[in-house]
Structure 1
Amino acid sequence: MKKENRDKARENSNSETVRAKKHLGQHFLKDEAIAKKIGDTLSLQGYKNVLEIGPGMGVLTKYLVEKDVAVIAMDLDTESIVFLNKNYPNKNLKVIEADFLKYDLSQLFGAEQFGITGNFPYNISTQIVFKMLEWKAQIPEFTGMFQKEVAQRICEKEGSKAYGILSVLTQAFYEAEYLFTVPPTVFNPPPKVDSGVLRLKRKENFTLACNEKMLYKVVKTAFQQRRKTLRNSLKSFNLSDKIKEDTIFGQRPEQLSVSQFIALTQKLENDAISTDR
């Protein structure tokens, strides 16, 4: 943190508030009951460390540090960092000024397991989920607040227009549950849409029966042309005539469950091997 930025932030924090910054997508939660409810979405089973992303003015942080866990609050906003250090001195809390999307998460808790929660900035919320998936081996639980539409999409099942790439790739490794809706009126400034809180619990056996990179490629390619049947949308995989006869290729991507996408990826892997021969 540059000294001039730190000094300016410290001056601003004297007003006992933090200015919400539009370019950071900040909407500060001001409802204590909802903050506590979000804090309680973490089961804390199988881990004793928690990362909070985007703590802002600490309305959720105060409930996290009451629990028997080590909490790291990470924010990109210098003003928030100064405010938190001043107003929430706690032996269980460490405050870090950093960009979650660029941060090496191994520096947080070493090799230990940790949960993630937060009131996530809408403009980077899906990127947060994708980065979380990269670190799934260390993250048994993930909860938090998104734009309602995004939260529903993550938890959606096959057969829905909202079901897509984010749904399949998240649910391949986690059980997804939409918990409750939060109205705009409990934020400062209020967003233009409702928010939704979800919980992701890592599956007991989260290793795949197919190549993970291949699954990502299959899912993303299929949904890029979601109105087409898989026989047409997956042409770039150089399907053999034999595999094209499989009835699964007559379906559209939104019709396939997560387990069917994994099975589809296995079929494509086997087809590629047999074709090479």
Structure 2
Amino acid sequence: MSSQTTESTRMIEFVAWAAVNKKKLLACAAIIAVGIAAGAIYQSNRNRAEAEASAALLKVDKPGVRPESAPEANAQAFLQVATAHPGTSAGERALLLAADALFRESKYAEAKTQFENFLRDYGENPLAPTAALGVAACWDALDKTNEALVAYQDVLSRFAGSAVVAQAKLGLARLYEAKNDPAQALKVYNELTRPNAPSAWSTEAAMRREQLLSKHPELARTNAPPAVISSVLSNLPAANLKATNPAAAAPTGPK
């Protein structure tokens, strides 16, 4: 039997099968059409929800537009956006901005709750490391040293490749100093000032390292300064090397 005859036979068989199963085919086609329509409606609603959430957040937070004399948006305004637009990108950012605003208002316990809410609800969000750092900073600001140590270490273990790691290490080193463990603090400062690990926080780490060694010169005997420290410190005025006791830094929020 030729190939053309075989193909013709198969076509006839398919037409016959389709005729017998016409109702089933129509039902399947209807289901597919409904699925496509539902997907289109969902995407349309999703896009509309995102647009509405972004517009609501923009009304509250207008970076670069607000006059310098105008007060910053308060936490409640951000929380209203987050509550009204859950599950949207803007709603997620609003929740983190609310936590940051509470922190800046010195409402550390409330800020910690909102940072924790963000991690619970949006743990896969790229801003989750910032929220985790926020939790640690809140414990730190509340003078809960042990809890803050655990929280900073949690940031380092869960978000090792994140941009907030250096800030978490600085907080960790300062707490080691507060617990009278200068050797551990120096170890962290050395990590932050390694030539192969530069960061925006290297300068501050270098200053704190020098302050620590001025208080504990015995540590300098076995801890030669990394090469990068000399170049960093050479560009700093001597006044910047005075010992300080800074409060916990506010976590860098979303922009």
Greater RCO, 1 or 2 (C-alpha within 8 Å, sep 6+): 1
TM-based fold match above 0.5: no
Write 1 or 2 for the structure with the bigger share of strand.
1
* CA radius of gyration, larger in: 2
TM-score of the aligned structures, taking structure 2 as reference length: 0.28
TM-score of the aligned structures, taking structure 1 as reference length: 0.26
